[in-house]
Chain A
Amino acid sequence: MKSNKNSRRKFIRSTALSSFAALIGMPVVFGSNLPKELPPIGLLDGTLPPDLIGKSKLMTVLNDRPINAETAAHLLDDDLTPNNLFFVRNNGIPPADVDVKNWTLTIEGESAQQKKTYSINDLKTKFQQHTLNLTLECGGNGRSEFNPPAKGNQWSTGAVGCAAWTGVKLADVLKDVGVKSNAVYIGYYGEDTHLSGDPTKDPISRGVPIAKAMEAESMIAWSMNGNDIPVLNGYPLRLVLGGFPASCSGKWLSKIVIRDKVHDGQKMTGTAYRVPCKPVAPGEKIKDEDMCIIEGMPVKSLITFPKTGAMIKKAEKLGIRGHAWTSAEKITKVEYSIDFGENWLTCDLKEAKNRYEWQRFEAQISFPQIGYYEVWARATDSDNRRQPIILPGWNPKGYLNNASHRIAIKVL
């Protein structure tokens, strides 16, 4: 132990290794004698651990190659999710040498009137700028609860966040290019690269129906909460399309295609981001052609205060708060239960500044006696959809789990 002080210092200086340690959550000693030619697992392809690129060490790293990290419910308590706590769902390797000045966005495709290329400065000067608070949620958020289990990143509840995005309306740019009347879909391409390093492969290239692209809340954004978008979240330019799975909101955006058919890019076809067109029994085998593309995300809520595990005294009331969101017009009601769903009481609910912003709910809870409680929350939206208490319909890829969030409380 005597050389500890020095070797620890050396370690802190060696960012690569200390980050590696943070990633795997172990004391740094294990990294100190790695073979020189062998980089730590997870860094083999040069992807960077999240603490190196603007992410909080409080985030939960699910996968380090590519980087996927989520945020615990109590860390999502802010009205707008801070950039360093916003979840990361990457399919490939983010571009390393971003030259903002020379970054361009090209719009083309079968249903584009012309091919047109814009610099970020063109976007900033030619079009009206907007700032909207938009919620993004990964289609697979909540996957870890499905039974039988679905493969992939086992998200719990933290693949969601809401930020103030500044940019231009996607519709304004598409109109500037000219959209033919036969347009069906848009698709995006980004500058991230495939994990295999194969330059001919796209890690992901998804899109949305043209009507969704033309919505007033569909944006091309260059700023997040007043700052540059973090590298892992799409710096310097990305799509932000609230209400749809976040995979539709392409990052490191460099090209948009206006298609005369449903976009067939990477992860649009097969079973990716698709659920059975008709309800199925858990574990049922489903043919690819019976899987339908996910569009609007379901109604959902999260209790962000207190952190699960809070203990209070019987005389105290418990103040809870959280966020609720939907792809419908708005959230109309949030309720809570402290008796495992037998009785539900209504929370105070704030209006959103704009559609697809999550809405704050709050309540003061009195507990009848000392003991163990669970606080459950469920939201209802303007389409009268309400969160289930148990898991919603099973699907082979584990998407769209919007079951009620639950926290554990003890009253002493």
Chain B
Amino acid sequence: MSEYTLKNNNSEVLLSVKHLRKEFPIKQTIFDIIQKKEKKKLTAVDDVSIDIYKGENLGIVGESGCGKTTFAKSAIQLYKPNSGEVFFEGIDITKVSRRELRKLCRNFQMIFQDPFSSLNPRMSVRDVLSEALTVHKIVEKSKVNTKIANLIDMVGLNIDQLDRFPGEFSGGQQQRIGIARALALNPKLIIADEPVSALDVSIQAQIINLIKDLQERLGITFIFISHDLRVVRYVTTRVVVMYLGKIIETADTEKLYRNPLHPYTKILLESNPNLDPRKREKKSLIEGEPPSPIDLPKGCRFCKRCKYAMDICHEKEPDLKEIRPGHKAACFKL
């Protein structure tokens, strides 16, 4: 535990994201073209800036469609962002050539939500792991097998399972294979996109423990995307709350969970069903659903659902500002 916190106090920036923006064009139908309708676009990530520190585990929470995954993917250039800069070790990776990007990309790996569909059913575990190792020439050919044995041991699988195919494993084991694959390239940053959502509670705990162990042992930086607020609180060291493509609040995990500032964060945390059956509320805290990210309202994105909304909230968009040391939020009320 003490070692764990130490690593986080080390505030060396691993990845610095500046004003990142990602839009997706909406396909027009033939009628739209004939009627010369304006081309619409969906803004998935809107001007997001954040520094990701070495050794931290950054959680991203928010409702589906708020841009959690798109942000992570465009930060590591799996999506080409429309504008903005991303600095990794002093290099702006949005501007490098494809060849260089390929070299840099081995530092970023992903763990996906659905373990089965993210593994090729026709490749044995050995093939899955050795492919990455040979393509990126991580180890000499003669040492590939030792490295694979190492990896498979690290994620808690058996060496005699190496020649099996993904279909022969249970969900939890498949996710372990996915994690081994991500570790193969000795990455500096791993993006875990809902890594435990598809798993049952008892298996979930196994994978969460594994991820925490690996992080402590190898000091890899994690971006942990999840809609499960309990899991995020347990795993991460710092949390970002996103709403419709914007960061609305960020702070150290415990600070944010104990003392949320933004009205949306408060509601989000309180909507998480309480485990005590004696504490039941009759009324839901929030009405309505997030507006469509295609035609965003003017002003604060949350104002339509916010009970504290003032006139200014409908006019101007609040900036993310530091309210307390290390605790930022975007709200005019604060």
| A pairs with B | no
